[in-house]
């Protein structure tokens, strides 16, 4: 296991390093002088120069990159130009909210897939199949900003059952039942595409498993169809499902930005949006790097779990 991780880690690190160079250069290429923007329109040349020196913007680009990278690695994320304050503080706060939202969505997606995937694979009823096919297509295709707005209109405006957005007025941890009310719509909205993809893959892999010879054998021995799906076929299908889940991290990260914007959920997505509209590039830079890091690490983790569950991957890696 460790050996597999050691073999896969370098290429992940190279991707992360290249991404950091790319992000740094791209953000640096944005026209406009950050120091002048910060100092305001009436600032004197000396004031602007002082701010520039203060931010380290007068150093050569290469040195600036090394400072930034060194800061990232040691946990110093730098300072925000405009929103104000330490980026680590801003990011920490948003990260907790985004994590809550994403984990809730992940739980919903996995539960839906674990429920619907086996049903879809095993069903012989034409209507069940049609309904699930429809759910799968719609869930995979419809963007979060469509499902999100529909959810808001139905549950928030029409039936007035749930809040249309925002966070609990007294904070996330004051009363969990109220937090759940604020969380459910954005989480469902974020979960839908992932649930759709996961259900589809799980059902397809299960169908493949059900065609295997061993299933015929077990079936001949008198084991019920449902039990075969749950006890036997699932074991073969799980590694594929986990890999699929790992590949959906990107959809979750991108989706979270959209969902947070639609439901005014104060997470990293809202912070990115603010950073861009206010041209607060150090914040955008850190958030881009953070999302790439999460994405790459989750994929690495997925590969490792896959290798753990499926010896063929692990053993194939050693030859």
Q: Which residues bind other proteins (CB under 8 A)?
A: 11, 14-16, 18-19, 22-23, 26-27, 29-30, 137-138, 140-143, 145-146, 149-150, 152-153, 156-158, 164, 249-251, 253-255, 257-258, 261-262, 272-273, 275-277, 281, 284, 288, 291-292, 295-296
Measuring CA to CA, how many Å separate 186 from each of 22, 194, 250, 256, 268? 32, 13, 17, 9, 14
CA 207 to chain centroid, in Å, comes to 28
8 A C-beta contact, residue 317 and residue 305? no
Least separation in angstroms between residue 23's CB and other proteins is: 7
User: Which residue stretches of the chain are H helix?
Assistant: 2-28, 34-39, 45-55, 61-74, 87-122, 126-141, 144-151, 176-210, 213-220, 225-227, 234-247, 249-263, 268-277, 281-309, 311-318
Question: What CA–CA distance (Å, rounded) separates 316 from 313?
Answer: 5
Residue 123 beta carbon to other proteins: minimum distance, rounded to whole angstroms: 18
CB of 182 to other proteins, least distance (A): 16
Specify the residue, 15 or 43, whose C-beta has the smaller distance to other proteins. Answer: 15
Specify the residue, 121 or 290, whose C-beta has the smaller distance to other proteins.
290
Closest approach, Cβ 231 to other proteins, in A, equals 30
| Cβ atoms of 270 and 235 closer than 8 Å | no
Q: How far is the CB of 99 from other proteins (least distance, A)?
A: 16
CB of 226 to other proteins, least distance (A): 28
Q: Which is nearer to other proteins, 234 or 270 (CB)?
A: 270
Nearer to other proteins, 111 or 146 (CB): 146
Nearer to other proteins, 209 or 280 (CB): 280
Residue closer to other proteins by CB (options 152, 234) is 152
Q: Are 81 and 281 in contact (CB under 8 A)?
A: yes
Nearer to other proteins, 91 or 288 (CB): 288
Cα–Cα distance measured from residue 154 to residue 157, given in angstroms and rounded to the nearest whole number: 6
User: Mutual orientation of helices 176-210 and 126-141 as an angle, nearest 10°?
Assistant: 120
CB 297 within 8 A of CB 8: no
| C-beta of residue 71 within 8 angstroms of C-beta of residue 91 | no
Q: Closest distance between other proteins and the C-beta of residue 228, in Å?
A: 26
């Amino acid at each position: 296991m460790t050996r597999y991780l050691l073999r896969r880690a370098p290429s992940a690190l190279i991707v992360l390093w290249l991404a950091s160079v790319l992000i740094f250069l791209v953000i640096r290429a944005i026209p406009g002088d950050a120091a002048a923007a910060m100092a305001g329109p009436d600032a004197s040349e000396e004031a602007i120069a002082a701010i520039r020196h203060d931010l380290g913007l007068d150093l050569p680009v290469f040195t600036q990159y090394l400072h930034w990278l060194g800061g990232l690695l040691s946990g110093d994320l730098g300072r925000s130009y405009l929103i104000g304050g330490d980026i680590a503080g801003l990011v920490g706060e948003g990260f907790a909210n985004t994590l809550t939202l994403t984990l809730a969505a992940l739980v919903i997606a996995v539960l839906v897939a674990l429920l619907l995937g086996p049903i879809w694979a095993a069903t012989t009823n034409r209507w069940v199949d049609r309904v699930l096919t429809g759910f799968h297509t719609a869930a995979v295709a419809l963007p979060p900003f469509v499902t999100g707005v529909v959810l808001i209109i139905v549950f928030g405006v029409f039936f007035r059952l749930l809040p249309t957005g925002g966070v609990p007025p007294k904070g996330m941890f004051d009363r969990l039942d109220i937090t759940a009310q604020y969380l459910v719509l954005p989480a469902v909205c974020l979960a839908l595409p992932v649930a759709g993809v996961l259900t589809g893959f799980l059902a397809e892999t299960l169908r493949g498993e059900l065609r295997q010879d061993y299933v015929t054998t077990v079936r001949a021995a008198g084991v019920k169809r449902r039990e075969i799906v749950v006890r036997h076929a699932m074991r073969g299908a799980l590694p594929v499902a986990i890999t699929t889940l790992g590949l959906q991290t990107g959809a979750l990260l991108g989706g979270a930005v959209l969902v947070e914007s639609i439901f005014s959920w104060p997470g990293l997505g809202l912070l990115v949006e603010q950073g861009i509209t206010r041209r607060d590039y150090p914040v955008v830079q850190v958030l881009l790097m953070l999302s790439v890091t999460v994405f790459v690490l989750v994929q690495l983790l997925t590969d490792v779990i896959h290798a753990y569950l499926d010896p063929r991957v692990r053993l194939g890696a050693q030859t």
